[in-house]
A and B are shown apart, each in its own frame.
Chain A
Amino acid sequence: MSDYLWNKTGAPDEEIEALEESLRPLRYRHQDLELPARAEIGRHRRAVLHRSLAAAAILLFVALAGIWVHLLRTNAHRDQPQASSNLAPPEARGRREPKPDAPQTTLAQRDAPAAAPNSSPSLSRRRQSVSAPRASQQTRRESFSLRAKNDNKIRRQTLAANVAQRLRLQETREGELAKDRLMFALNITSHKLNVAQRKIKATTTQSPAANDENR
């Protein structure tokens, strides 16, 4: 390759010179650069950007941490009653389920001890959850509906047990009454038999004397 093409030294290449001459009108003509007055060179911008990014990152971190703690709390509260109801022995669980042999009580009396442990923490939890984000509100709604379903089921079971108990008590009462009537009837018949025997005895004792008189 000729040096002229590389650095314009050495013997000039006529063809290249002609091309240069032909293309000269297209060469760059210096124009002053018009920089905008308010344009800032990167350093200051970068500093501002870094500060704002750091602030945004801190805010984001705090927000995420808050959400995380809140979710942990809500999960813990949600799991507590379920765990206690699942892991507790049947006797303990039976607090809310009436036994068939248990003495008859009213529904209000029976629900009262079961509802009492739930009432104060659950109410406070519900109050706390009012200001919670929508995502956790939905889960809370689901848990509430689940609890309501469970309560209805327990109430139905209690009612059925109560009805069965009432029926059983009525039957026993009727049986006892029938037994009393039977005993009373048996007493009457025994008394009648006694009276009849006495009459027979009395007639047999009187009949030999009468026979003797007739004789």
Chain B
Amino acid sequence: MTKIEAARSLFLVARASQSPEESSTAETSPTKISPHAPLVAAARSGDREAFAQLHSSYAPMVHGILLARAPRSEVSDLVQDVFLQAFRKLHTLRDANTFGAWLATIARNRAVDFHRRARADEKLTEEDAAARSAEETKAEEILDVIRRLPEAYRETLVLRLVEGLTGAEIAARTNLTSASVRVNLHRGMKLLREELKGRKV
């Protein structure tokens, strides 16, 4: 069986296992009306409170996307940067329903910029390492394993396992189809299990 056939069968299985309720709500497409569209419209007209609400809703997604790409110590600042950039460029967003995907793109580009500015090989100092608890160290180790996975899987896994978003929420926030999110979660989890067994983390 070729890879394409395997992917197709996996997609069909995932679709068949989806409940009718989910298929009507979680099957997102870029043209679907987002529940946050009125907030986006209000923020575009200058409502800071609306933008603060958008920040509360989308900050975990942005945090997860950045955590999958950038060092943990920088992620908080990068989240702020991403929202500031979004605030300044909100007028360039044409469709308010695609705010999540647009924000995710800004976050990915910001992570790329961060690595471009020669801070990619930033190594943890001894002080940072000492300040961490054992729990945080273990979390960092698992995160390192997730970061070595392919990009599509690591982002979805971080949003699910770290940020605690459900598959439907991930699909709604990132404007991906729920089928894609399902496939990414399934394959990513499988790869993560194999990696963790191999490393005995």
Docked pose: A43 CA to B89 CA in angstroms: 10
B17→A27 contact, CB < 8 A: no
Least CB separation from A9: chain B residue: B166
Docked pose: A98 CA to B115 CA in angstroms: 83
Which residues of chain B come closer than 8 Å to A31, judged between CB atoms?
Answer: 59, 76, 79-80
B161→A23 contact, CB < 8 A: yes
Number of A positions contacting B (CB below 8 A): 31
Which residues of chain A come closer than 8 Å to B17, judged between CB atoms?
Answer: 1
Chain A interface residues toward B at CB < 8 A: 1, 5-8, 15-16, 19-20, 22-28, 30-36, 39-46
Closest chain-B Cβ to A122's Cβ sits at a distance in Å of 56
Docked pose: A176 CA to B199 CA in angstroms: 130
Chain B interface residues toward A at CB < 8 A: 14, 17, 22, 43-46, 48, 51-52, 55-56, 59-60, 63-64, 67, 72, 76, 79-80, 83-84, 87-92, 133, 135-136, 138-140, 142-143, 160-164, 166-168, 182, 185-186, 189, 192-193
B168→A7 contact, CB < 8 A: yes
**Contacting residue for B193 out of A15, A26, A34, A35, CB 8 A:** A15
Which residues of chain A come closer than 8 Å to B139, judged between CB atoms?
Answer: 22-26
User: Would A6 and B185 be within 8 Å (CB), given that A19-B161, A28-B59, A44-B46 are in contact?
Assistant: yes
Docked pose: A210 CA to B19 CA in angstroms: 181
Which residues of chain B come closer than 8 Å to A44, judged between CB atoms?
Answer: 46
- Selected A-B contacts with CB under 8 Å, 13 pairs: A5-B185, A6-B185, A7-B167, A22-B135, A23-B161, A25-B133, A28-B60, A31-B76, A33-B80, A35-B48, A35-B84, A42-B89, A45-B91
A16→B189 contact, CB < 8 A: yes
**Contacting residue for A26 out of B45, B88, B162, B168, CB 8 A:** B162
Which residues of chain A come closer than 8 Å to B89, judged between CB atoms?
Answer: 42
A30→B56 contact, CB < 8 A: yes
Docked pose: A45 CA to B91 CA in angstroms: 8
B138→A22 contact, CB < 8 A: yes
Docked pose: A45 CA to B89 CA in angstroms: 10
